[in-house]
Amino acid sequence: MVRWRQSPAGGNVEDRRSSGIPGGAAGGAGGIIVILILLAAVFLGVDPGAIFQGGGVPSGPTGPSSLSPEEEQQLANFSAQVLGDTDATWSRIFAEDLGRTYTRPTLVLYTGYVDSACGQASAAVGPFYCPSDQKIYLDLDFFHDLRAQYGAPGDFAEAYVIAHEVGHHVQTLLGTTQYVEAAQGRATSQAEVNRLSVALELQADCYAGLWANRSSAQNLILEPGDVEEGLNAASAVGDDRLQQQSQGYIVPDAFTHGSSAQRVACFRSGLDHGELGSCTNCGGLSVAGV
């Protein structure tokens, strides 16, 4: 059970759950575009989440929620608290380590489909961060999938998911995301594009671990089993494990997020060392991405 010494203030949350399209069916041209994008991504072997800028892990198909209203509200409250704690922690890191002011992101809760500055997205792509509007998008039903489909239960596993997406926000503030996108534009092969995507994701995993380390020194109380929940979640969403489950074989050149071992190692690196420099070796990206 994730606990804090003092309950953190909730972060910026934009609740769009009532505006989602029920039953997983999108209407109009926007829904058709999303379907075409997802089909093209599957055909090309590209992770659909990457299309929507920094997606965390793929989820299952959208549909009626698997959560009761009470469970959903509890998860909404918990997500806001985790975001608030990441706000406080990264604000200290930026001030103490970089001499900069941290700009807090917004968490958008939605159901089914959502419009972002990066385009319309389906919950099927999983949680994702959009650099263009500096918002994290999350369908809370993903946490049910995390437990039931990926075998990664626990509230610290859920906190890891949010902290990973916040890691992408940190990369945007530091210019790392922009550096990687420019490098991908110059890439001469899809394998190189994918390698750069893996580097970005692994660093975000490390930043999630870094948050846990620095927060635990101030407010977060890590109890027995919490770290294991986070490591299990990182392992559960490794590209090799997901590919093996979905197609029965592994294609390393098609990795976009990193293997289970890589994701666990990078999360552990941030967690053990708690320094920005400890995340340089995860994917080969420095703090500024150069």
- Number of CB atoms found within 10 A of residue 151's CB: 13
- What is the arithmetic mean of pLDDT over 8-30? 64
115's torsion region: left (phi>0), alpha (psi -120 to 50) or beta?
beta
Q: Which two tokens stand for residue 54?
A: 């920094």
pLDDT of residue 62: 47
pLDDT of residue 188: 95
Examine the pLDDT at 91 and tell me if it is beyond 60: yes
**pLDDT, averaged across the chain:** 82
Examine the pLDDT at 195 and tell me if it is beyond 50: yes
- What is the arithmetic mean of pLDDT over 200-227? 92
CA distance linking residue 194 with residue 15, whole number of Å: 32
Q: Is 136 exposed, middle or buried (0-12, 13-18, 19+ CB in 10 A)?
A: buried
- What is the arithmetic mean of pLDDT over 102-113? 96
- What is the arithmetic mean of pLDDT over 217-246? 81
Examine the pLDDT at 101 and tell me if it is beyond 90: yes
pLDDT of residue 64: 57
Residue of higher predicted confidence among 235 and 181: 181
Are 76 and 10 in contact by the 8 Å Cβ rule? The answer is no
Letter string b/e over residues 8-19, b meaning 16 or more CB atoms within 10 A of that residue's CB = bebbbbeeebee
Are 110 and 41 in contact by the 8 Å Cβ rule? The answer is no
- What is the arithmetic mean of pLDDT over 43-61? 43
Examine the pLDDT at 24 and tell me if it is beyond 60: no
Q: Is 115 exposed, middle or buried (0-12, 13-18, 19+ CB in 10 A)?
A: middle
Q: What is the DSSP letter of 96?
A: I
Q: Which two tokens stand for residue 126?
A: 């999983």
pLDDT of residue 52: 42
Assign 281 a pLDDT band (cuts: 50, 70, 90): confident
Can you tell me whether residue 121 is helix, strand or coil?
strand
Lowest mean pLDDT among 198-202, 203-207, 284-288: 284-288
CA distance linking residue 77 with residue 85, whole number of Å: 12
Which residue type, as a one-letter code, is found at position 195?
R
Which residue has 């692994």 as its token pair?
202
- Number of CB atoms found within 10 A of residue 27's CB: 9
Are 276 and 286 in contact by the 8 Å Cβ rule? The answer is no
Q: Which two tokens stand for residue 123?
A: 């919950």
CA distance linking residue 67 with residue 222, whole number of Å: 26
CA distance linking residue 208 with residue 203, whole number of Å: 9
Q: 14 forms bridges with which residues in the sheet?
A: 108
Examine the pLDDT at 13 and tell me if it is beyond 90: yes
Q: Tell me the per-residue pLDDT of 137-162, one tens digit each, with 9 for 90 and over.
A: 999 999 988 888 888 878 999 999 99
Examine the pLDDT at 48 and tell me if it is beyond 90: no
Q: Which of 2-11, 40-49, 131-140 has the highest mean pLDDT?
A: 131-140
Please report, in angstroms and rounded to a whole number, the separation of the first and last CA atoms in the chain: 38
Residue of higher predicted confidence among 54 and 281: 281
Assign 241 a pLDDT band (cuts: 50, 70, 90): low
Q: Full-prediction pTM beyond 0.75?
A: yes
pLDDT of residue 99: 96
CA distance linking residue 223 with residue 3, whole number of Å: 8
Percent of the chain with pLDDT over 70: 80
- Please enumerate in sequence order all residues whose Cβ is within 8 A of that of 147, keeping only pairs 6 or more positions apart, or say none: 153
Examine the pLDDT at 185 and tell me if it is beyond 60: yes
Q: Which two tokens stand for residue 248?
A: 């029965």
